Chain A
Amino acid sequence: MRQADLRQIQDAFAGPLASFVDESAVRLAVLINRSGQVLAQEGFDRIDDLVGVASLAAGINASSRALASQLGQEDFEHLHHAGRLRQLFLGQFDTGGGLLILVTVFDEASSIGLVRLFFEQMVDEVRQLPVMDAPPVSVSADNFEAELESSLDRFFRDLMGG
Chain B
Amino acid sequence: MSLVNYATKEITCKIVYYGPGRSGKTTNLQYIYSRVPWDRKGEMVSLATEADRTLFFDFLPLDLGRISGFTTRFQLYTVPGQVYYNATRKLVLQGADGVVFVADSQRSQIEEDIESFRNLQVNLLEQGIDIREIPVVIQYNKRDLPNVLAIDLLDDELNFREVPSFAASALLGEGVFDTLRSISEGVLRKLAGKLDNTRSRSWRAKGVGNR
Contacts and interface: CB of A to CB of B under 8 A. Distances in A.
A and B bound? yes
Interface of A: 1-7, 9-11, 33-37, 39, 48-49, 51-52, 55-56, 59, 62-63, 66, 95-100, 134-137, 139-141, 143-145, 147-149, 151-152, 154-156, 158-160
Given A49-B43, A55-B59, A159-B36, A152 B195 contact: no
B67 A144 contact: yes
Range of interface residues on B (Cβ < 8 Å): 35 or more
A144 B94 contact: no
Contact of A34 (B4, B5, B201, B209): B209
Provide the main secondary structure of the chain B interface.
Answer: mixed
Given A6-B208, A34-B95, A52-B43, A141 B196 contact: yes
B194 to A, nearest CB: 8
B65 A155 contact: yes
B123 interface: no
B184 interface: yes
Interface string B51-88: 00000110101001111101010010100000000011
Contacts of B185: 148-149, 152
Contact of A151 (B36, B42, B65, B201): B65
Interface stretch (B6-14, B114-122, B134-142, B152-160): B6-14
B42 A49 contact: yes
B208 A155 contact: no
B57 A59 contact: yes
Contact of A136 (B92, B199, B200, B204): B199
A59 B184 contact: no
B203 A52 contact: no
A100 B209 contact: yes
Contact of A56 (B45, B195, B200, B206): B45
B206 A6 contact: yes
Contacts of A154: 65
Contacts of A2: 202-204
B1 interface: yes
B94 A35 contact: yes
Contacts of A63: 56, 88, 91
Interface string B94-111: 110000000000000000
Contacts of B124: none
Nearest to A134: B199
B87 to A, nearest CB: 6
B6 A97 contact: no
Given A35-B95, A144-B68, A59 B56 contact: yes
